[in-house]
Amino acid sequence: MSNVKAAVFASGTGSNFEAIMNSENLACEIVLLVCDKPGASVIEKAERFGVQTFVANPKAYASKSEYEAEVLKTVREFGVEWIFLAGYMRLVGVTLLEAYEGKILNIHPSLLPAFPGKDAIGQALQSGATVTGVTVHFIDEGMDTGPIIAQEKVTVMPGDTEESLKVRIQQVEHALYPRVINNIVRRASLYPVK
């Protein structure tokens, strides 16, 4: 198993978390799940995979930076080198961004820069787009901005509902995210920046 350690940050169902965990020969070891929604079903999934969890409600902290300082302390304790956002429904703030510059990836269910933010699938349907897709990108301080690493198209079919389109988008996500993670982590070990 790889000695590069990573954390997944998620708030919801965790189907991408599951896909990452199930992917064969992952170039890093997922040692931690960070979840900001106590009770989210991704937590049970982590427990099933034997992945440690850090679950905290940011509202229980005096400020975003205090919450992130606690998260930062935890990811450092676990020796985390990479952070993969997978349905983490909050903007990452300066505390984590500075500490993990160029080491935080996100997956988004549209072809960014189209349809950023919440409900990207609903936005695509409402716009009448015939093609949407999936983007994996490095994050910055913006909402679904930051350098794009990979994109894959998904055709919007006549009669598609949010549910039917989501199923096809998530199939693409579950294959794309582990593949991109492997490419990025392997490349970084071959050409270390520091």
- For ligand GRF, the binding residues (CB under 6 A) are 10, 12-17, 86-87, 107-109, 170, 173
Contacts of 80 (CB under 8 A, 6+ apart): 5, 6, 7, 31, 32
Which residue(s) pair with 138 in the sheet? 105
User: Measured from the CB of residue 78, what is the shortest distance to ligand GRF in angstroms?
Assistant: 21
Q: Is the CB of 95 or the CB of 132 nearer to ligand GRF?
A: 132
Half-sphere exposure of 126 (CA within 13 A, CB side): 7
Separation CA 6–CA 54 (nearest Å):
13
Q: Is the CB of 10 or the CB of 71 nearer to ligand GRF?
A: 10
Separation CA 56–CA 49 (nearest Å):
20
Q: Is the CB of 109 or the CB of 178 nearer to ligand GRF?
A: 109
Question: In one letter, which amino acid is 29?
Answer: E
User: Measured from the CB of residue 194, what is the shortest distance to ligand GRF in angstroms?
Assistant: 29
To the query of whether residue 174 is one of the catalytic residues in this protein, the response is: no
Separation CA 46–CA 30 (nearest Å):
10
User: Measured from the CB of residue 178, what is the shortest distance to ligand GRF in angstroms?
Assistant: 12
Separation CA 82–CA 88 (nearest Å):
15
What tokens appear for 65 in the block? 């930076």
User: Measured from the CB of residue 25, what is the shortest distance to ligand GRF in angstroms?
Assistant: 21
What tokens appear for 47 in the block? 């427990």
User: Measured from the CB of residue 87, what is the shortest distance to ligand GRF in angstroms?
Assistant: 3
Catalytic residue, candidates 37, 103, 108, 174: 108
- In the DSSP assignment, the letter for residue 156 is P
Q: Is the CB of 132 or the CB of 170 nearer to ligand GRF?
A: 170
Q: Is the CB of 18 or the CB of 68 nearer to ligand GRF?
A: 18
Q: Are 67 and 75 in contact (CB under 8 A)?
A: no
The residues annotated with a catalytic role in the active site are 108
